[in-house]
Amino acid sequence: MEQQYVIGVLVANISGVLSRVSGMFTRRGFNIDCLTVGETESSGFSRITVAFRGNEDIRERIVTQLEKLHDVKEVEVLDQHETVIRELLLLKVRNTAETRQDIMTAVEIFRSKIVDYSAAALICELTGESTKIDAFIELMKNYGIMEMCRTGIVAIERGENCLRTLHER
């Protein structure tokens, strides 16, 4: 059955590692919905979060192919019910006298923040799960989105389990 999977990938923090990981997806014809990469608490490792759609067979092939890459230290499929998943949105919307109050109300209800205010535009910042961000964007379309960008998801397992500890075991 096709569904979205989120995997955490611990990689060596060296030049070219992102090419190797993303190249594996391209080369073998797997689609990436979203990929983020950032530093970890240890300077030797970076952490990549990849979301993709597929069935179990595709998930298994992606995991085993990633595990073969020399710079990949650990791969884990994250159980979405046991995982905190967050994404950050920055959205610039037109600031007019007619729409301002509605925008402010939406910002409040979504627990978003206005991080820049000018006569012509507002910038809203929002973090949350992707569905919440989608809903906020949908609403903002009514007020004239000027530009926006979202970071893609980062994800971390609840409880004491860590990718890092898996690697050290």
Partner 1 sequence: MILTGAEIIAETLIEQGCSTVFGYPGGQVTDLFDALYQRSDRIRNVLTAHEQGAAHAADGYARASGTVGVVIATSGPGATNLITGIAAAYLDSVPVVAVTGNVPCSQIGRDSFQEVDIVGVSMPVTKHNFIVKDICELADTVREAFRIAKSGRPGPVLVDVPKDVQEAKCEFTPAAEPVAAEPLRCSSNHRLQWAADRIMQAKRPYIYFGGGVIAGHASAELLAFAERLDAPMGCSLMGLSAVPSDHPRFLGMQGMHGHYASTVAEDEADLVIALGVRFSDRATGAADRFARHFAVIHIDIDGAELNKNIAAQLTIRGDLKDALRRLTAIVPQQLHTGWNSRIAALRTEEQRRTAASHSIMSEAGMLTHFEIIDAVSRAAEEDALIVTDVGQHQMWTAQRYPLRYPRTFLTSGGLGAMGFGMGAAIGAFLAAGKRTVLFTGDGSFGMNLNELATAVSEHAKLVIVILNNGVLGMVRQWQRLFFGQRYAATTLNRKTDFVKVAEAFGAKGMRADDAESLERAVHAAFSQDGPFVIDCAVSPDEPVLPMLPPGGSIDDIITQIK
Region binding partner 1 by CB under 8 A among candidate stretches 19-27, 37-45, 96-104, 146-154: 19-27
Single out the residue of 16, 82, 113, 131 in contact with partner 1 (rule: CB under 8 A): 16
Interface with partner 1 in residues 45-64 (CB under 8 A): 57, 60-61, 64
Cβ–Cβ under 8 Å, residues 22 and 35: yes
Q: Which is nearer to partner 1, 75 or 122 (CB)?
A: 75
Does 44 contact partner 1 by CB under 8 A?
A: no
Round to whole Å and give the CA distance between 73 and 58.
20
Backbone torsions φ then ψ of 61, nearest 5 degrees: -65, -40
Size of the site for partner 1 (CB under 8 A): 15
Residue from 21, 3, 2 nearest 13 by CA? 21
Question: What is the DSSP pairing of strand 3-12 with strand 45-54?
Answer: antiparallel
- Token pair 């597929």: residue: 54
Q: How far is the CB of 67 from partner 1 (least distance, A)?
A: 7
Does 19 contact partner 1 by CB under 8 A?
A: yes
- Token pair 């301002």: residue: 100
Provide the binding-site residues for partner 1, judged by CB under 8 A.
Answer: 16, 19-20, 23, 27, 57, 60-61, 64-65, 67-71
